[in-house]
Amino acid sequence: MTATHAPSPRTEGRPPVPAVRRERRRIWGTAGFHLSAGLLSALWLLPIALVLVTSLRSFDDVAAHGVGSLPHSFTLDGFRQAWVDGGQQRALINSLLVTVPTVLLSLLLASTAAFALSRYDVPLRRTLLLLMLGGNLLPPQILLVPVSKLSEMLGLYDTLYALIGVQVGFGIGFYVFVLHGFMRSIPPEIQQAAVIDGAGPWQIFTRIVLPLAKPAMAALSALSFTWIFNDLLWAITVLRTDSQMPITASLIGLQGQYVSMWNVIAAGSVIAAAPTVMVFLKFQRHFVAGLNLGAVK
């Protein structure tokens, strides 16, 4: 017979020592993760906060105390100078006139192409997809001169139509690739049931496929709006007149016009960043989820 010992009153009801150590390590690991993430977030937000604070300071305050000092004034005069005198108002309108039609046209063309390539047996389907995706792998720098010459030959140079055409042409391949992966995952039984009910391809596309592809479409809308609105390279390639320049190119001119007036330059940067921030916040629920669905499925 083996003797059994009753548990000590001091240890009765307590968890084993290894379990206590694991719990302590988990708590310290969680605390360390949150501390590290908080520090990284603070470092990332610090330049943004500096720009916001500088944009709300007066020129005399910045000149007297420096850009990195605590604010001693509060004024919106920097925004007025950037908006009116610096030409940001016209530049923002140009950016919206380019971005909004480009996003709508790109998604319309990409969704129809992805629907045809994913739901029907199109000849050379894989080759077409590889060509569309391969166009996005080319460095844009080697295409600057050909694109500029082509826009001159077509009579579109220095117009917003040229910039819209360039943005649509260079973005549609990626959009087709993402939407093709998403639409291909839709069960074929849904389309077969619609065909039995007498629906044609256009009805299947507009009433079945597009509603199911809303997460991917929303994610691509936010992503394409950010890319197009913040683009600078193609703007200075096909545009020349200051009155036609979008907000990013106008910001460069603002820096040359107000060389030492950091409050005006900071205000112009805030104006240029505000639309993309609002669009991203609007579509943030669908942004990551939609891209993951299109990539995985």
Contacts (Cβ under 8 Å, ≥6 apart) of 214: 286
For residue 262, give the CATH number of its domain.
1.10.3720.10
Residue 36: inside a domain: yes
> Would you state the structure tokens that stand for residue 56, as one six-digit string?
């709300």
Pair (180, 139) in one structural domain: yes
Residue 123: inside a domain: yes
Tell me the whole-structure pTM to 2 decimals. Answer: 0.80
Pair (25, 142) in one structural domain: no
Question: Given this model, what pLDDT does residue 286 score?
Answer: 67
Distance CA 19, CA 237 (A): 64
Contacts (Cβ under 8 Å, ≥6 apart) of 120: 201
Number of other residues whose CB lies within 10 A of the CB of residue 295: 12
Pair (211, 151) in one structural domain: yes
The pLDDT tens digits for 92-128 are: 999 999 999 999 999 999 999 999 888 888 888 888 8
Residue 79: inside a domain: no
Question: Given this model, what pLDDT does residue 7 score?
Answer: 53
Question: Given this model, what pLDDT does residue 10 score?
Answer: 53
Distance CA 269, CA 289 (A): 29
Pair (260, 119) in one structural domain: yes
Question: Given this model, what pLDDT does residue 112 score?
Answer: 92
Residue 119: inside a domain: yes
Domain hosting residue 98, numbered range? 84-296
Pair (155, 260) in one structural domain: yes
Residue 189: inside a domain: yes
Residue 288: inside a domain: yes
Distance CA 170, CA 158 (A): 18
Pair (136, 217) in one structural domain: yes
Question: Given this model, what pLDDT does residue 30 score?
Answer: 85
Pair (43, 101) in one structural domain: no
Question: Given this model, what pLDDT does residue 294 score?
Answer: 45
Pair (164, 89) in one structural domain: yes
| Residue numbers of the chain with a pLDDT score lower than 50 | 1, 294-297
Q: Give the side-chain half-sphere CA count within 13 A for 58.
A: 7
Pair (250, 291) in one structural domain: yes
Domain count, the chain: 2
Residue 178: inside a domain: yes
Amino acid, single-letter form, for residue 7: P
Residue 161: inside a domain: yes
Read off the DSSP letter of residue 243: G
Pair (276, 205) in one structural domain: yes
Choose the final residue of a domain: 39, 55, 71.
Answer: 55
